[in-house]
Amino acid sequence: MKLLNTIVYAHRGASKLAPENTMPAFELAYQLDADGIETDVQLTKDRVPVLIHDENVRRTTNGTGFVQDYTFKELQQLDAGSWFSSQYINTSIISLDEFLRWIKDKNLKLNIELKNNVIEYKDLEDIVYNLLKSYQVLDRTVISSFNSKSIKRFNKIDPNVTTAYLTSQKIVDLIPFAKSKGASGLHIKNRILSKSLLDKAKESNLYVSVWTVNRPTQMMRCYKLGCKAIFTDVPHVAKETLRLFNKRSN
């Protein structure tokens, strides 16, 4: 029997073990044999794409205020690690450029989430695209966003890049809606995963990936249903669970 090869993305890196969206979390994800890394991109005041999930720096740094009100140099002065553990004191927020320089020669897939559903960062799609192109990683990158207009804009820049519409909602016309924006796939919250949704997506030539899947029972369900990828804070657990699933299936 053919082995299942569901892609395991480390969600914001190995974010259960190190501060999310930082180099320690990405390094750990690589060491733990993740297939890819998922990260979030926002723009600074001086239009540098940086890796941070929230629009506000308060939760994951010792600073306050919005990412868009800081220059990149100012953001680098913030401590993005000690909130997680004293082991990571003085860990810095990094730029997309730094991240791509690190990942370029590694056998890792990328999922770049454009964080523009709250703040519409002007030209975010072009800025991210040009960086991905310059590092020659477009062929292994998925661009995802909750902002359907952003997906459409990215597809206009380059229709060959894989894009995915992100949602946590059960929307009646979800599949035709995603297709109308040019999305290649759906990245859905674990709680709305169902066999019928997967079947309908497959009929429409849309793949389905699921976030955030941290429990082995949830992972097993995703594997059984044939999801293309899962996003997890514990990539080592996901990889081990996949090995176990394949062993049982064969």
| Alpha carbon distance 228, 186 (integer Å) | 10
| Alpha carbon distance 8, 229 (integer Å) | 6
Q: How many CB atoms neighbour CB 228 within 10 A?
A: 21
CA nearest neighbour of 232 among 49, 4, 33: 33
Concatenate the DSSP letters of all residues of 60-89 into one string.
TSS--SBGGGS-HHHHHTS--STTT-GGGT
CA nearest neighbour of 119 among 140, 88, 94, 146: 146
| Alpha carbon distance 163, 209 (integer Å) | 12
| pLDDT at res. 86 | 97
Model pTM?
A: 0.97
6, 11, 148, 185: the active-site residue? 11
| pLDDT at res. 1 | 61
| Alpha carbon distance 118, 199 (integer Å) | 31
User: What are the distances in angstroms from CA 176 to CA 120, 191, 200?
Assistant: 24, 21, 10
| Alpha carbon distance 113, 150 (integer Å) | 11
Q: What is the DSSP letter of 172?
A: T
11 is known as an active-site residue: yes
| Alpha carbon distance 42, 114 (integer Å) | 7
| Alpha carbon distance 149, 155 (integer Å) | 10
| pLDDT at res. 172 | 86
Q: Which two tokens stand for residue 117?
A: 């559903």
Concatenate the DSSP letters of all residues of 153-218 into one string.
HHHHH-TTSEEEEEE-S--TTHHHHHHHTT-SEEEEEGGG--HHHHHHHHHTT-EEEEE---SHHH
pLDDT along the chain (250 residues), means of 10: 90 98 98 98 98 98 98 98 98 98 98 97 98 98 97 97 96 94 97 96 97 98 97 98 94
Please report the beta strands in the chain, taking only residues with DSSP state E, as ranges in sequence order: 7-11, 36-43, 49-51, 109-114, 141-145, 162-167, 185-189, 207-211, 229-232
45, 47, 53, 200: the active-site residue? 53
Contact 63, 78 (CB under 8 A): yes
53 is known as an active-site residue: yes
Please report where in the chains the tokens 């929307």 appear, as a residue.
171
| pLDDT at res. 3 | 83
Contact 17, 87 (CB under 8 A): no
Q: Which two tokens stand for residue 155?
A: 């597809």
Q: How many CB atoms neighbour CB 221 within 10 A?
A: 16
